Amino acid sequence: MTRCAERFGEIFTLDLPTMGGKVVMTSNPDAIQQIFAASYEDVAQPKAREFATLLGATSLFVVEGSAHARLRRLVMPSLGPESVQRTLAEIQRQVEEAIDSWPLRVPFLLQEAMQALTLRSTVEGLLGRHSPRTEPLARAYSVASQAFASPLILIPIELQERLGFGPWTRLVRAAETARELAGDEVRERRAHPTEDGTDVLSRLLKARDPEGLPMTDGELSDTLVTLLVAGHDTTANALTWMFSCVLRDPSLHLQLKEELEQAREGGRLVPEKVVSLPLLDATVKEVLRLHPIFPAARRTLLKSMRLLGYELPAGTHVAPSIYLAHRRAEVFPEPTRFLPSRFFQARPTAFELLPFGGGMRRCVGGIAAPVQMKLTLATVLDRAVLQLLPGPPVRTITAFISLAPSGGVPAVLASRTTFLGRYVSI
């Protein structure tokens, strides 16, 4: 993308077989605004039949037009600021338990640790901590992601279906298991409503559309699996990038630790205070700017569109390039440097800083994910001494559905403090 931008400027066509063919990419904020402002009559989500097979016909990734708008209105409040605020202590507890499970003075891969942490926090966040289906759902998801990671997944799906084996078949079976588990949970909760839970399912069960109708069982189970798939790997990779950046920068590391003192009461970090710390907030923004988890947000034109002077016919795939937009030197001076303090001055628009995409398809986890990142970083800096191990320079690679640092980021936990006495090292 960088080479194309150097050669062709802020709009160009890339031929990407893995992204469904030719895509017109742009990093121009006005063009990005134009794409994000387009209505359901003007643009659609590029369709892959695999999404419907794996995530269900009523997944947010699959539905279009008024059905999509309705579903978003039902789902968004359960992941909005008020709902997220009620889960802060729970997230902090999950991170503390994860730290306790990491091996002491034995090298491990941060990416694997972050995958495990986010898988647990995502399934518990969706179903609640005490659901008997959190473990089986996490297992089904792991089977699916292993199948997806197999190089044999590239064998044409039709052939794998005809042969009846191969990673695609395993992936479909694991996705069916996940949707069945989600469906069982939904039916059980309807039969035995619980008290006001903070989990996403409790809130989705109470959601009503403008006609006063609740979500159907199918919508609920498809939504749970969609949120798991969309939220797990993305957040795990964002967390891995964050530690990779922060642990490489001793001065920032120290400043962040000092800042945490403003959020401490009676020796404990207060999560409500942690999430509004300015340097921590700037650090999370800078991680997502320099290392966007998705390089682009794609749309398919349903009508022709004039974009930066080019007439693009209906059927063209267009994509705001999140990666290039985040590297525009006029918005972010010295764009390749990791510099959280830039956000003390910079006030980029939603078309210049867009890690969560935009418009009617903007990520529904755009509030929850930065909160998870802040609480994870703060809790680890507070309770553990984590060090990176030397290794080759980190490159960006594709992992599952998002972009991740190469090599898994090897690290070692040099020490950790207990709850009771945070000065006691065990």
Q: Is residue 141 a contact point for ligand HEM (CB under 6 A)?
A: no
- Under the binding rule (CB under 6 A), the answer on residue 368 touching ligand HEM is yes
Short-list 54, 117, 67, 15, CA closest to 375 = 117
Q: Which of 35, 84, 324, 363 binds ligand HEM (CB under 6 A)?
A: 363
Contact window for ligand HEM (CB under 6 A) among 225-233, 255-263, 268-276, 374-382: 225-233
Q: Is 356 in the site for ligand HEM (CB under 6 A)?
A: yes
Nearest to 386 by CA among 106, 37, 7, 140: 106
d(CA 230, CA 236): 11
When asked if residue 234 is in the footprint of ligand HEM (CB under 6 A), the reply is yes
- Taking the complex as a whole, the smallest distance from the CB of residue 12 to ligand HEM amounts, in Å, to 20
- Residue selected from 167, 183, 365, 405 as contacting ligand HEM according to rule CB under 6 A: 365
Q: Is 224 in the site for ligand HEM (CB under 6 A)?
A: no
- Long-range pairs, 241-244, Cβ under 8 A, ≥24: 241/287, 241/290, 241/291, 241/404, 241/405, 242/283, 242/284, 242/287, 242/373, 242/376, 242/377, 243/110, 243/114, 243/377, 243/380, 243/386, 243/388, 243/409, 243/411, 244/110, 244/388, 244/394, 244/405, 244/409
Backbone angles phi, psi at 2, to 5 degrees: -60, -45
- Give the residue with the Cβ less far from ligand HEM, 189 or 374: 374
Among 55, 138, 369, 399, binds ligand HEM (CB under 6 A): 369
Alpha-carbon gap, residue 383 to 338, rounded angstroms: 24
Q: Which of 120, 285, 361, 383 binds ligand HEM (CB under 6 A)?
A: 361
Task: Decide: is 128 part of the binding site for ligand HEM (CB under 6 A).
Answer: no
Segment interacting with ligand HEM (CB under 6 A) among 27-35, 289-297, 342-350, 388-396: 289-297
Write each residue from 45 to 84 as x if it is in contact with ligand HEM (CB under 6 A), else as -, in one continuous string: ---------------xx----------x------x-----
How does strand 317-320 pair with strand 21-26? parallel
Q: Does 295 bind ligand HEM (CB under 6 A)?
A: no
1 vs 412, beta carbon nearer ligand HEM:
1
Q: How far apart are CA 52 and CA 384, in angstroms?
A: 42
Chosen residue from 181, 227, 246, 339 binding ligand HEM by CB under 6 A: 227
Residue closer to ligand HEM (CB basis): 182 or 413: 182
Out of 128, 231, 340, 408, name the contact with ligand HEM by CB under 6 A. 231
Give the rounded distance of the alpha carbon of 302 from its chain centre.
28
Strand partners, 320: 26
Q: Tell me whether residue 247 or residue 297 sits nearer to ligand HEM (CB atom).
A: 297
Q: Is 91 in the site for ligand HEM (CB under 6 A)?
A: no
Is 371 an interacting residue with respect to ligand HEM (CB under 6 A)?
no
Q: In sequence order, which residues have a C-beta less than 8 Å from that of residue 236 and are 6 or more positions away? A: 111, 114, 115, 117, 118, 119
Q: Which position among 34, 78, 226, 240 is part of the footprint of ligand HEM (CB under 6 A)?
A: 226
29 binds ligand HEM (CB under 6 A): no
Count residues near ligand HEM (CB under 6 A).
25
Nearest distance in Å: CB 137, ligand HEM: 14
Residue 293 makes contact with ligand HEM by CB under 6 A: yes
167 touches ligand HEM (CB under 6 A) = no
Q: Does 148 bind ligand HEM (CB under 6 A)?
A: no
3-class SS of residue 300: strand
Q: What are phi and psi of 7, to 5 degrees?
A: -85, -40
Stretch that binds ligand HEM, among 138-146, 271-279, 339-347, 359-367 (CB under 6 A): 359-367
Nearer residue to ligand HEM within complex by CB, 160 or 402: 402
Paired with 370 in beta bridges are none
If one asks whether residue 331 binds ligand HEM (CB under 6 A), the answer comes out as: no
User: What single DSSP character describes residue 390?
Assistant: P
The secondary structure of 193-248 as a DSSP string is: PPSS--SHHHHHHH---TTSPPPPHHHHHHHHHHHHHHHHHHHHHHHHHHHHHHTT
Cα separation, 16 vs 87, whole angstroms: 40
Residues 32, 351, 322, 291, Cα dihedral to 10°:
180
The residue to which tokens 């090298």 are assigned: 107
Q: Which residues bind ligand HEM (CB under 6 A)?
A: 60-61, 72, 79, 226-227, 230-231, 234-235, 238, 293-294, 297, 355-358, 361-365, 368-369
